[in-house]
């Protein structure tokens, strides 16, 4: 197979709720050279442009068992991440379209095994590992609550998240996420850092969310695991009943299902689109 910078020349560009990805068939063999290739390819303007890179490969299963796939994800900075919800939806649809799996499949991620249902209309439902537990809150560096509430909820949805509710009278659309996001993303109480999700509660089980993502180090049009985190916290702390519909900056809505028992969320699902944008062939000049 022809390669460039250690990666296959052949790839798909896919998008899930505004998060965009380069998708490669086969397992990841990413060292220093490949990580630099990922960084260059993900740069907008000079590369292909993407929030991250997915590697999708067939996983060995017992004879007669339903096919399963392995999904490996790398952020735009070239670093690996245990899980990307929007990316996993895209990987599941890629696996179905390329014949690696059937419409009901299991995707093995760094977080664990995730059930997926790929629908003919391109929407995908993920069934996430459980339980998802709410942790202790942390300060938001806005003690006066001028823009956001003084404390943020902490939880992991495969990767660490902070859920930050807007202060009363403040709409998430007006927040300066580029300024508010970085100090929270590197919160001193979170050694790994975190994705930061800013939330307005609309009522009627509806939220609006904007996300600042680690590894991208910028606001993205959507963060699927952040949407899950936001919906679970809104259910636990704001009484929003599932299913919760979440509007993202891309304009796409994601739907989160869950069942709360105290501070634990069970039966967590995420449903949203997984679109094929194009199939491509990398040239040397891409690097």
Residues 168 and 254 in one domain: yes
- The span from the CA of 28 to the CA of 34, in Å, is 9
* Domain limits for position 154: 132-272
pLDDT tier at 66, thresholds 50, 70, 90: confident
Q: Return the pLDDT at 94.
A: 99
Q: 137 and 268, same structural domain?
A: yes
Based on the fold, state whether residues 51 and 137 are members of the same structural domain.
Answer: no
pLDDT score recorded for residue 130: 85
Same domain, yes or no, for 99 and 207? no
Q: How many domains does the chain have?
A: 2
| Domain co-membership, 116 together with 182 | no
Same-domain status, 98 and 190: no
pTM of the model: 0.94
* Overall average pLDDT of the 145-172 stretch: 94
Residues annotated as catalytic (active site), given as ranges: 84, 223
Three-class DSSP category at 286: helix
- Tell me which of 60 and 211 has the higher pLDDT: 211
Q: Band of the pLDDT at 30, cuts 50, 70, 90?
A: confident
- The predicted model gives 117-128 an average pLDDT of 98
Average pLDDT of the segment spanning 32-39: 90
Mean pLDDT across the chain: 94
**Are 138 and 163 members of one domain?**
yes
* 87 and 20 belong to one structural domain: yes
Helix (H) or strand (E) holding 36: helix 32-42
Does residue 93 share a domain with residue 64?
yes
> Same domain, yes or no, for 282 and 259?
no
Judgement on whether residues 278 and 268 belong to the same structural domain of the protein: no
> What DSSP character marks residue 130?
S
CATH number of the domain at 24, please: 3.10.310.10
Residues of 70-99 as b/e, b for ≥16 C-beta within 10 angstroms?
bbbbbbbebebbebbbbbbbbbbbbbbeee
Residues 52 and 138 reside in one and the same domain: no
Nearest to 142 by CA among 166, 172, 169: 166
């Amino acid at each position: 197979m022809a390669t460039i910078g250690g990666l296959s020349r052949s790839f798909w560009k896919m998008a899930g709720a505004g998060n965009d990805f380069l998708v490669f068939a086969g397992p990841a063999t990413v060292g220093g050279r490949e990580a630099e290739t990922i960084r260059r390819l993900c740069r907008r303007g000079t590369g292909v442009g993407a929030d991250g890179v997915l590697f999708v490969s067939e996983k060995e299963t017992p004879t007669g068992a339903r096919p399963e796939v392995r999904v490996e994800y790398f952020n735009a900075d070239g670093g690996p991440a245990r899980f990307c919800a929007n990316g996993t939806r895209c990987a599941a649809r890629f696996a179905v379209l390329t014949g690696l799996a059937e419409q009901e499949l299991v995707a093995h991620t760094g977080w664990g095994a995730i059930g997926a249902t790929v629908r003919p209309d391109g929407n995908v439902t993920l069934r996430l590992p459980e339980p998802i537990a709410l942790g202790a809150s942390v300060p938001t560096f806005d003690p006066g609550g001028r823009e956001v509430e003084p404390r943020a909820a902490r939880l992991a949805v495969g990767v660490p998240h902070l859920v930050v509710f807007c202060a009363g009278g403040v709409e998430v659309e007006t927040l300066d996420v580029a300024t508010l996001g970085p100090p929270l993303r590197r919160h001193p109480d979170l050694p790994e850092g975190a994705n930061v999700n800013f939330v307005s509660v609309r009522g009627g089980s509806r939220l609006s969310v904007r996300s600042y993502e680690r590894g991208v180090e910028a606001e993205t049009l959507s963060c699927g695991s952040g949407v899950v985190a936001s919906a679970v916290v809104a259910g636990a702390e704001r009484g929003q009943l599932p299913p919760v519909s979440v509007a993202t900056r891309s304009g796409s809505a994601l739907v989160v299902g869950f069942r709360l028992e105290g501070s634990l969320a069970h039966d967590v699902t995420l449903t949203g689109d997984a679109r094929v944008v194009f199939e491509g062939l990398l040239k040397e000049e891409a690097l």
